[in-house]
Structure 1
Amino acid sequence: MPASIVLFEDNDRLRESLTYLLNMNGYTVMGSYGQCSEASLIARVYKPDVVLMDIDMPGISGIAGVQMIKESNPDTAVIMYTVFEDDEKLFQCLCAGANGYLLKKTPPAKLFDAINEVLEGGAPMSPIIAQKVLSTFRTKQEVNKYNLSLREKEVLQWLSKGYSIKMIATEMDIAFDTVRSHLKNIYQKLHVNCGKEAIAKALSERIV
């Protein structure tokens, strides 16, 4: 049985071209829409296998559209199909539940491959997008190598802003000695000897 697909794309010409290409290549386009305000209803009624979702849509954004679809029909895989390459939109989409992220300059053959991949449980992404995800993952891994607790990170953030131990204690509503204890642990974990070294390391390695 052909995979069922729903399109959300506000560019009429692109939407029509995609519909034609998908239908001609063994997929069944159940609906194509220029905005996603009715995304929840559409997902419930059609229960598509895959949704191709633009981000920059009139009214409700495609990011909100992903959330609406996932709430209505969690089994529907959503692939973002967009011109945006920036980190913020990428991670907003992934956090909203998107299963893949393709740039509109992706050749049709690669788009078909991505649809097949997501149907098999994969997470298709354009190469440049995959690099961004891996880069962010590596950065987080690098930061976490010091095993700072959330409380210690918070103390380090205040320290990096120039706050004294007394001021940090006031801001965090904890005892002066508790802050000193946290700082001692921070210095040991970061392998530094003082606050200035801790701040320098925290900023240079983007720990805070």
Structure 2
Amino acid sequence: MFMMCKREFISLFKSFKSIIIIAILFAVSYYAAKFSSFIASGADLTAGEAEDIHTIGLLSVILLFGQLFVFGLSHDTINKEVHERTMRFLVTRVSRSAILFGKFLGMWMFWFVCITVSFLLISIFSRKFDLFIFSQTLSLVTYQAALALLLSVLIPRPGYTMFLGNILGLLLPAFGFWAAFTPNGWVNWMKYFVPFYYLERDDFTFLVILGLAGMMLLAANAVFKRREC
């Protein structure tokens, strides 16, 4: 499993798309934190919101475009191996569960490094490392990575997951916010399955997001075990 983790982790950093995404995250984190006092002066914020204003740039990017970024990098993490027949060689060396969880761990470690460095950049200006918001952000990225992995297992062709990933990456944030705040009873119940409902609360209910990610991983593992390579 750790071999797969290392392989996935390194391959993500070698991607040209990942370099662009990392540059966006770091640039937004740095400049949003740098000019946070200017942003705060032009907005009517509570004391708590003003205290966390340094993270607004990074959080906005992850909330609005995080799923698109994750899909862009990892939409084919499983089905590419299956499509190119390399998965047949992998399953002779390690179990399918080890492959799947190893790849997920590699994806997660990549985003952990990106988010950690982004928060360190923010801490230069805020002079603190907000562990609570960091944990919330990491839980969201964990959910997004698990969803990308599940999609890659369910859909056999990388081209399809690339197309669907772009669509979902753009629509899911909008749908998530709508489901979380709409009074429409036909839609409102779906808020419990999207992370945005748990992130807007200032408590540890964001841990539910990790549970949702875990369920997606278990579902992906169950399907992957039964799929021909």
TM surpasses 0.5: no
| Relative contact order higher in (CA < 8 Å, ≥ 6 apart) | 2
TM-score, reference length from structure 1? 0.23
TM-score, reference length from structure 2? 0.22
Bigger fraction of residues in helix? 2
Bigger fraction of residues in strand? 1
